[in-house]
Amino acid sequence: MTQSSATTYLYYAQTGLGVEALAQREVEAWGVSSSRVLSGGLEVRGNQELMWRLCLSSRLIESVRIRLKAFVARDFAALKEGVRRLPLSAFLEKGASIQVRVLCKKSRLWHSGAVEQRVGEVLAERFGLVCVGDDSPKEESSFVLFVRVAEDEVQLSLEVSGPRLHRRGYRRHTERASLRETLAAALIASAAGEADSAPEVLWDPCAGAGTIPLEALLWGHGRLSGAEREFAFERFRGFSSDAFAAFRARLIEEVKRAAPAPALRVIASDSSAGALASAQENLQSAELLASAQLIPGSIEEVASQVPQGAWVVTNPPYGKRLAESQALTQLKMVLKARPDLRPVVVLVGEGARRALGSEPRAILRTKNGGVSVSARLLRS
């Protein structure tokens, strides 16, 4: 992928549903003003370095794709001709493997399997690519091409990020119902939007494997979320590893200088000693253990060790797990005795949402593992 500094691309940054506005604020904080919010993501135009930054430093975005030029196709001949004209050879070498994922909606070309077959034929004949079907084992080295046909308009988007960006690389252990890293980051961003100042201490009383404390420290200390992983664009034609390494080094220093809470400490507590052992290993893997205090015990037992004015951000059990824990009830009792703890943001769903009632304001609505959940502001 070679370009002049003036060359720009249209990127689609996919997010979880409900996280789009938070992601837009994150991108605009970088000085990018040309973003447009869509359902499940946002479009943003910029140069190659913007693509690198989206993948390296966004805490909320799940994947990044380059939008190729859209075209109209009402039959398969027009579809194949439109794909032939796209500049895929500017990105992909001959012989590269690629998966094609198709969505058809309100179009004359309504059969996704037939569309996938025709697109695959062009990719092989015109560009020399090797198509890998969805029924084949997923290869980390395979590129992914998304084909969306809506009202006869065809939009192809080439994934540039590779495996989902929530895979930071630090989390070696998970616990039951562990949060995705991007959702944990969205809870932190939501809490930050309700606070008057940066936190000195953040407490997660249902820490599990430590995802919320980890994401809080990455944010507060100004650490790049994607600094330790690889991306699909590193296998593009003409990719300059030297230019990318120099950009990453500059970005690491820039983000570190702008750290919102460089002195932040976290308290990770949980009634499960096994969960805290996982959190400890994950924090150690991320080289953040020195900024964390891990305390086993119930919420009521740990509360006395939490300093004044700490933020509380947590994901207590809900659904089938609600009956196994009194975490939400205990947290509400602790908050009555500790008015200094603020803001307090709790992710709830299913039974926990009903137990909490409708009074606490929802500051984020999204899904977690297919379950509708909301971040409730118990105290600002």
Question: Domain containing 326 — which CATH number?
Answer: 3.40.50.150
Look at residue 33 in the predicted model and tell me its pLDDT: 81
Query: Are 291 and 332 contained in the same domain?
Result: yes
Give, as one character, the DSSP assignment of residue 110: -
Query: Are 107 and 198 contained in the same domain?
Result: no
The answer to whether residue 253 is domain-embedded is: no
Residue entry with tokens 């297919």? 370
Query: What angle, rounded to 10 degrees, do the helices at 273-285 and 211-220 form?
Result: 30
The answer to whether residue 94 is domain-embedded is: yes
Domain that holds residue 140: 9-159
What are the tokens at 117? 């077959």
Last residue of a domain, one of 159, 194, 214: 159
The answer to whether residue 168 is domain-embedded is: no
User: For residue range 211-236, what is the model confidence (pLDDT) as tens digits?
Assistant: 999 999 999 999 999 998 999 999 99
DSSP assignment string, 287-309: T-GGGEEEEES-HHHHGGGSPTT
What are the tokens at 222? 């100004």
Query: Are 106 and 215 contained in the same domain?
Result: no
Query: Are 37 and 135 contained in the same domain?
Result: yes
Query: Are 116 and 208 contained in the same domain?
Result: no
User: For residue range 308-353, what is the model confidence (pLDDT) as tens digits?
Assistant: 999 999 998 865 554 445 888 899 999 999 999 999 999 988 766 6
Query: Are 208 and 352 contained in the same domain?
Result: yes
Name 159's bridge partners.
Answer: 65
Phi then psi for 259, rounded to 5 degrees? -55, 125
Measured distance CA(238)–CA(119) in Å, rounded:
24
235 close to 96: Cβ distance less than 8 angstroms: yes
The answer to whether residue 248 is domain-embedded is: no
What does the angle CA 190 – CA 212 – CA 370 come to, to the nearest 5 degrees? 75
The answer to whether residue 69 is domain-embedded is: yes
Query: Are 311 and 185 contained in the same domain?
Result: yes
Query: Are 139 and 271 contained in the same domain?
Result: no
What are the tokens at 227? 């600094």
Q: How many domains does the chain have?
A: 2
266 close to 216: Cβ distance less than 8 angstroms: yes
Last residue of a domain, one of 159, 189, 213: 159
Query: Are 300 and 350 contained in the same domain?
Result: yes
> Residues in the chain with pLDDT < 70?
1-5, 134-140, 173-177, 318-325, 351-355, 357-358
Query: Are 187 and 145 contained in the same domain?
Result: no
Q: Is 328 helix (H, G, I), strand (E, B) or coil?
A: helix
Query: Are 81 and 185 contained in the same domain?
Result: no
Look at residue 323 in the predicted model and tell me its pLDDT: 47
198 close to 261: Cβ distance less than 8 angstroms: yes
Query: Are 337 and 273 contained in the same domain?
Result: yes
Taking the model in full, what pTM does it have?
Answer: 0.92
The answer to whether residue 173 is domain-embedded is: no
The answer to whether residue 174 is domain-embedded is: no
Look at residue 90 in the predicted model and tell me its pLDDT: 96
Could you count the other beta carbons within 10 Å of the beta carbon of residue 106? 9
E strands, the chain, where?
9-14, 35-38, 41-46, 63-67, 71-72, 97-105, 130-131, 143-150, 153-159, 201-204, 265-270, 292-296, 311-314, 344-349, 361-368, 371-379
Question: Domain containing 23 — which CATH number?
Answer: 3.30.2130.30
Name 135's bridge partners.
Answer: none
The answer to whether residue 237 is domain-embedded is: no
